[in-house]
Amino acid sequence: MIFLQNYDISLIIACYDNCNSEWSWNSENNHWTGFHLWYITQNSVTIQCDMETFLLEPGDVFLFDLRKNHICRHDPINPVSMYTAYFHCVQTDQLQQQINEGVILKKQHPIDTAMNVTMFQHLCDSRTLFEQEIWFAPILQQIICNTSSQNETVQLVNKICTYLQQNLSEFFSLEMVCLQFGYSKNQLIRLFHKVIGVTPYQYYLDMRLERAKQYLLFSNLSLQEIAENLCFHDISHFVAQFHHKTGYTPVQFVLNQRKSLTQQK
């Protein structure tokens, strides 16, 4: 049993899922009760619930109240991969109320991606329930204890991150982001450094490069088209930024990925 805040949590199962191209999930078909937690590690997935649609990308977490139906889909060309955990809570009604009133956010983006991936790896590799609960507790604590009253700064940065992810094909303007969210440049830069350790522009650049990887591997777009779609100045600028981030040129990256896939087969 895990004790967090006013909740008594029982972990049922945790695993890592590499979804196949035909995967989709309608939660009511499982007839599960309790709660489900996803942590996205690769590609993206959309979740529909209560007339809302959520887009989850790597590093995003989603907390399911399984009393409600969730329809989940991904791009079959880019199958989603994620860590998942299914758990029960003694205070089910209280936790459900907190989620559905928005006190505990369904979608979140925890700060330290590397740390969370490591904890999920240990969680899934653990052989006893006791060990699993040791690793699951700090993961769940970030989500359940990240309430609107306690972590407004984190929620604001998460909201801005979502805004930037949704506008990767637009030229970045710090002034526009500041105007959109009502903060000065210095305030916004300080907030980003405090929460995720990089500037808004660096985060936006990293997300564009992650999207570029998807285009390179799963589309027929040319380097010119990718550079234009993701608002790089030109091909040279795109290649330079990509090489700086990954250590490979775009062409080298594609060849390396294909070589890895061939070796796996």
On whether both 164 and 251 belong to a single domain, the answer is: yes
**End of a domain among 144, 177, 202?**
144
- Number of domains into which the chain is organized: 2
On whether both 64 and 127 belong to a single domain, the answer is: yes
Write the CATH number for 237: 1.10.10.60
On whether both 138 and 162 belong to a single domain, the answer is: no
**End of a domain among 144, 177, 203?**
144
Of 65-69, 102-106, 142-146, 160-164, which gets the smallest average pLDDT?
Answer: 142-146
DSSP string across the chain: -EEETTEEEEEEEEEEEE--TT-EEEGGGTT--SEEEEEEEES-EEEEETTEEEEE-TT-EEEEETTS--EEEE-TTS--EEEEEEEEETTHHHHHHHHHTTSB-SEE--S-HHHHHHHHHHHHH-SSHHHHHHHHHHHHHHHHS-BTTT-HHHHHHHHHHHHHHTTTTS---HHHHHHHHT--HHHHHHHHHHHHSS-HHHHHHHHHHHHHHHHHHH----HHHHHHHTT-SSHHHHHHHHHHHHSS-HHHHHHHHHHHHHHH-
On whether both 164 and 205 belong to a single domain, the answer is: yes
On whether both 125 and 235 belong to a single domain, the answer is: no
On whether both 189 and 117 belong to a single domain, the answer is: no
pLDDT at 235 over 90: yes
On whether both 168 and 256 belong to a single domain, the answer is: yes
What is the reported pLDDT for 85? Answer: 93
On whether both 99 and 199 belong to a single domain, the answer is: no
**End of a domain among 103, 118, 144?**
144
On whether both 111 and 204 belong to a single domain, the answer is: no
On whether both 135 and 214 belong to a single domain, the answer is: no
pTM: 0.56
Average pLDDT, the chain: 85
- The percent of residues above 90 in pLDDT, for the chain, comes to 30
On whether both 138 and 157 belong to a single domain, the answer is: no
pLDDT at 146 over 70: no
Write the CATH number for 24: 2.60.120.10
Top mean pLDDT of 70-84, 140-154, 247-261 is at 70-84
On whether both 94 and 174 belong to a single domain, the answer is: no
pLDDT at 92 over 50: yes
**Can you give the residue range of the structural domain that contains 47?**
2-144
pLDDT at 150 over 50: no
pLDDT at 181 over 80: yes
